[in-house]
Amino acid sequence: MFVTSAYAQTTAPSATEAHEGVAAHGGNEAFPPFDPQFFPSQILWLAITFIAFYVFVKRVLMPQIGSTLEHRRHTIAGNLEEAARMKEEADAAIAAYEQELADARAHAHEIATKARDEARAKAEDDRRKVEASLEAKLADSEKRIASVKASAMKDVGSIAEETAAHIVERLLGGPAPKSDIAAAVKAARE
């Protein structure tokens, strides 16, 4: 889409006019930066620009960069010192923790030993009390058994005499003298 206007037609040179302009100047014209007649002025401006840039870098940028690097060096050194200090504090805290843990274990062992000894002593005391109670009950039981046995033995003699008298009476058909039966039972019991 081409715009055709009177302005565009009057101000824009045509291709033939541009070609004629080059031909009018000899057609041999070089690009100005590459034209040797401009080399001395280009070298002068290059030197001025380089010196100005060098002075700017040396006086403005290098001190700022140097101060930034120095500031970073101090910051890093400070951070390293702080890290070393914090590591020492952490190591000290760990050592204190381990010492307290060892102390707590030792104390717990002492408490456990004491509790075990107290429990053993209490168990021994309870055992002695139970043994004493059992011995007292056993002695009481033996006394009762002895009294029951004595009472039974006392009655055994009379029962044995009565039984022997009944047996003899049945076997012989008549009563036997009591003194003979008592003597026979007494002899058998001894």
Consecutive H or E run containing 69: helix 62-172
Find the mean pLDDT for residues 86-106: 94
Q: Tens digits of per-residue pLDDT, 18-51?
A: 455 554 555 567 788 888 888 999 999 999 999 9
Q: Is residue 185 a contact partner of residue 164, using CB atoms and an 8 Å limit? A: yes
To the nearest 10°, the Cα dihedral for 157, 163, 164, 168? 160
Query: Which pLDDT value is given to residue 172?
Result: 79
1, pLDDT greater than 50: no
More reliable by pLDDT, 154 or 129? 129
* Region class of 173: left (phi > 0), else alpha (psi between -120 and 50), else beta: left
Contacts of 66 (CB under 8 A, 6+ apart): none
Instruction: Please give the mean pLDDT across all residues of the chain.
Output: 83
Q: Tens digits of per-residue pLDDT, 56-95?
A: 999 999 999 999 999 999 999 999 999 999 999 999 999 9
pTM above 0.85, yes or no: no
Find the mean pLDDT for residues 168-173: 79
Contacts of 178 (CB under 8 A, 6+ apart): 161, 165
Residue 25 three-state SS: coil
Q: What angle do CA 176, 181, 186 make, to 5 degrees?
A: 175
